Amino acid sequence: MTAEDLIAEGTRLARPCVHLQVQGDAGIVAAVWRGTGIVPSTEADCQHWISVDCRFLPANLGPASGCISMYTQRRNPNGIVVYDPESVISLAQGGLLLTAQPGISLPPIEAILLAGSPIVNDWLQSLGIETPWKWEDMLPYGDVMTAYEQALSENIPVQARLVYAILGGWPVVWPDGDWFELIDSNLMILTLAESEPWIEVFRRGADYQVIQRVS
């Protein structure tokens, strides 16, 4: 297994995503950051983070029209999502308008080890690791892994400072250790601006789950 082979595996498993940023085509407004929220909260003591025009969500991640607004609460360690099929993005409630830039999201190495092609299984077996790979297995962190982690780091625009949030894509592997529990959920939103916390919104069926992350 070479670094190029591993990056090719990641590219094969990449998912579509959308970067929400402050620069771009001013006519393609996809979201509003902060303000009081496009869709009013159903609960008290809420802090609005982002409202998104659902038309810009990658396919099969949510409703095809209307808006969703995401809030956190002081008494709630996570947060809530509210949806209105009739709402549209505007600055009537204040906030910063964000535009949409399509992108791709590379998977974390854990996803490649679980869903990679036979070349990945052959590589693991050459390292003496049984397949299917288990979370408890420890991999040698050699040049191949280092090269992929670098590609993955460059793919997530955390340092760009222009990208406020990402719609869709692969979930990040956090120290919390719950990545495998969320693998069957769809990541809708990952906030990057004003971190910490980073905030994720997952969807599983008709339910939303909001998770705040700190390092």
- Determine the pLDDT at residue 159: 55
Residue 68 counted as domain residue: yes
139-160 core/surface letters (b: 16 or more CB in 10 A; e: else): eeeeebeeebeeebeebbeeee
Residue 4 counted as domain residue: no
Residue 118 counted as domain residue: no
Name the average pLDDT for the chain: 88
Residue 144 counted as domain residue: no
Q: How many domains does the chain have?
A: 1
Residue 83 counted as domain residue: yes
Residue 42 counted as domain residue: yes
Greater confidence (90 vs 187) lies with 187
State the pTM of this model: 0.90
Residue 192 counted as domain residue: yes
- Determine the pLDDT at residue 25: 62
Domain region containing 81: 14-105+157-213
pLDDT at 135 over 80: no
In terms of Cβ atoms closer than 10 Å to its own Cβ (0-12, 13-18, 19+), residue 171 is buried
User: Whose CA is closest to 183, among 123, 124, 121, 107?
Assistant: 107
Residue 75 counted as domain residue: yes
